[in-house]
Amino acid sequence: MSLDTRPKPLVDNWNRPFWEACGRGQLILQRCKATGKCFFPPAPVSPFTGRPEWEWINASGRGELWSFVVFHQSYFPGMKDELPYPVAMVKLEEGPYLLTNLDGIGPDEAKIGMRLAVRFPGGPEGFTLPQFGPEA
1 pLDDT band, cuts 50/70/90, is low
Domain tally, the chain: 1
Amino acid present at 83: L
For the ranges 31-40, 88-97, 102-111, the lowest mean pLDDT is seen at 102-111
Task: Taking residues 75-104, report their average pLDDT.
Answer: 93
Q: Residue 60 CB: number of other CB atoms within 10 A?
A: 13
104: left (phi over 0), alpha (psi -120 to 50) or beta: left
Specify the long-range contacts of residues 11-17, CB closer than 8 Å, at least 24 apart. 14/41, 14/42, 14/43, 14/44, 15/41, 15/42, 17/42, 17/56
The whole domain housing 78 covers 3-134
